[in-house]
């Protein structure tokens, strides 16, 4: 069981590297959905993850559908400004289920077809209208630490 961060077609290697480091720090698993805007061998990805990369549980998929097929019993959340539910309004305290938090591509987000089909599982992080979006690695950390807080930081020191 556990917490999973899913990056849908990430484009910026430093964001993925930062998220990878956060996943290692929180004993979470990282899933990357292709196509990627970089190679996972890219020095920018490795630099952002520093020497923690070797401890990362990371999986890659050709499509989001392949991920859904593999984890049919899991709960999936879509982090996007599409829904009306704040990320703090849901209960993530169950540690005996696989919980996946999907974050979209930096430039275009998560495709609307996934959001419309999963409206009840769309969660958002509040932000002023002065910015289009938060940095991807910051958004992932915000949500991830709320989940950990609700789980009494299980698996961390």
Q: Determine the pLDDT at residue 147.
A: 97
For the chain, list the domains and their CATH numbers.
2-150 (3.40.1280.10)
Other CB atoms within a 10 A radius of the CB of residue 109 amount to 19
DSSP string of 8-58, one letter each residue? ES---HHHHHHHHHHHHHHT-EEEEESSPSS-TT-HHHHHHHGGGGGG-EE
Rounded to an integer, the average pLDDT of 111-119 is 95
pLDDT tens track for 64-112: 999 999 999 999 999 998 889 999 999 999 999 999 999 999 999 999 9
Q: How confident is the model over 9-32, as pLDDT tens digits?
A: 999 988 998 999 999 999 999 999
Structure tokens at 105: 């591509």
Q: What is the pTM of this model?
A: 0.94
Question: In this predicted structure, what is the pLDDT of residue 46?
Answer: 64
């Amino acid at each position: 069981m556990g917490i999973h961060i899913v990056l849908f077609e990430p484009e910026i290697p430093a964001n993925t590297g930062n998220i990878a480091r956060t996943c290692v720090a929180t004993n979470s698993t990282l899933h990357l959905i292709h196509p990627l805007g970089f190679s996972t061998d890219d020095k920018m990805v490795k630099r952002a993850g520093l020497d923690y990369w070797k401890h990362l549980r990371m999986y890659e998929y050709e499509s989001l559908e392949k991920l859904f097929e593999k984890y049919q019993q899991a709960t999936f959340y879509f982090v996007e400004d599409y829904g009306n539910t704040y990320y703090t309004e849901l209960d993530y305290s169950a540690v005996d289920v696989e919980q996946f938090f999907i974050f979209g591509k930096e430039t275009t987000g998560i495709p609307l077809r996934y959001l419309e089909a999963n409206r009840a599982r769309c969660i958002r992080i509040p932000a002023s209208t002065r910015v289009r979006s938060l940095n991807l690695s910051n958004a992932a950390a915000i949500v991830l630490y709320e989940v950990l807080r609700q789980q009494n930081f299980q698996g961390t020191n």
